[in-house]
Amino acid sequence: MTRKATVYDVAERAGVSIATVSRVLRQPDAVRPVTRERVLDSVAALGYVPSGSARGLAERRTGVLGLYFPGFDASEDAPVFDMVADDQAEAPPFTVEQASADTGAPHPTMLFLDEVLRGAELEAWKQGFVLMIGVGRGDPARETVRDIAGRVDGLMVLAQSVPDEVLARLAQRIPVVVLSGPARGDSYDHVTVSNAEAMSELTRLVLAQADPGGLAFLAGPEDSPDGAQRWEGFAAAIAEAGIATDDVMVLRGDFTRASGHRAAEELIARGAPAALVAANDQMALGAIDAFRSAGIRVPDDVRVTGFDGIEAAALSRPTLTTVRQPMIDLGRAAVQLLARRLEQPDAEPMTVRLPLQILVRESSQRPE
């Protein structure tokens, strides 16, 4: 790899000025076909690729959008092993493991982010942007967000992944879109979903399938904003149905499968409910396990619903009724908002609210 070719090299080889080279690449029609060919020849011969940095500097825009979200990555603490230095020859080409069901299963939140990312990338591409991503790892010394902010035309951040004051500062420089957080009194553009409304509707569906007397709710941890919204939606729906909160058995879990299992056991001890609305899928699946172990049939004896739409919910038996975030669309909408603001920097801050998908499956349907 010799020194990288620059416009100057191309220009010299083609016998034109650098301006012409630049034109060939930016506005081909402004240059005479013969000249253009000559320049393109040189470009190919030299393997010339324009420097993004130089372009960005000259154009005052980079054509890059940034996506930043918090990390939930277990492998973060993975050994810093050096795959490159290790002697290849002696390593076996495979390992054999007695594997359980969840060997290597990624964190659910990562799956969520994967899809958001995919949507963002798709839309970015459609709009002619490239995507840069960063994951927060709570390392204050390494200003990853700021680093990214300096390289992009616009930034998408997952709610709460960046401290308010930092975000405010970045927003001073480039447009910022906040993803899936509550629309607070800030001046950013937002993309959110209607957690509470969807939970209300789901609850209504459950009420239509179960005796209102035996309703149970399995909440998430107290400090979870999502969990809180889901509770609110549930509470609203039962209130509307004339059911008092006190008439509902409310348990609290921590979003894990195990906590769902425990909660269901407790419910069974108190006398099995007619329906269990869980604040997420994991807990719902854990509860279903517990019910099964106790000989209680789902959905025949008890209706169960989850929230999130993880893949295991679709593969469980019975398949789990749940609510899914429109993750792809979250990503796409965020990019659209950025693109819009780059065109109209002074438009009013805007919040796009995307519909959630309530996926009605077996677990919530009373048999005919």
Partner DNA sequence: TCGCAAAATGTATGCGCTTACAATCACTCA
Partner DNA sequence: TGAGTGATTGTAAGCGCATACATTTTGCGA
Q: Which residues contact DNA (rule: CB under 7 A)?
A: 4, 6-8, 15-23, 25-26, 30-32, 34-36, 48, 50-51, 53-55, 57-60
Tokens of 261: 């299992």
Tell me which stretch binds a second copy (CB under 8 A): 8-16, 26-34, 128-136, 297-305. 128-136
Nearer to DNA, 342 or 354 (CB): 342
**Separation in Å, CA 69 to CA 39, 110, 162, 228:** 43, 10, 8, 21
Which of 29, 33, 82, 90 binds a second copy (CB under 8 A)? It is: 82
By CB under 8 A, residue 126 contacts a second copy: yes
Query: Which is nearest to 136 in space by CA: 86, 73, 180?
Result: 73
Tell me which stretch binds a second copy (CB under 8 A): 9-17, 62-70, 214-222, 244-252. 62-70
> What does the DSSP 8-state code read for residue 366?
P
By CB under 8 A, residue 106 contacts a second copy: yes
Residue 105 · residue 285 · CB < 8 Å:
no
- Residue 68 CB, nearest approach to DNA (Å): 20
Report what 16 binds from a second copy, DNA, none; CB cut-off 5-8 Å by kind: DNA
Report what 333 binds from a second copy, DNA, none; CB cut-off 5-8 Å by kind: a second copy
CA angle 340, 168, 111 (to 5 degrees): 70
Query: Which is nearest to 159 in space by CA: 11, 328, 294, 351?
Result: 351
> What does the DSSP 8-state code read for residue 76?
G
Tell me if residue 22 falls in helix, strand or coil.
Answer: helix
Q: Which x/- pattern, by CB under 8 A, does the window 283-322 give for a second copy?
A: --------------------------x-xx-xxxx-x---
Tell me if residue 297 falls in helix, strand or coil.
Answer: coil
Residue 149 · residue 173 · CB < 8 Å:
yes
- Residue 288 CB, nearest approach to a second copy (Å): 13
Nearer to DNA, 129 or 231 (CB): 129
By CB under 8 A, residue 95 contacts a second copy: yes
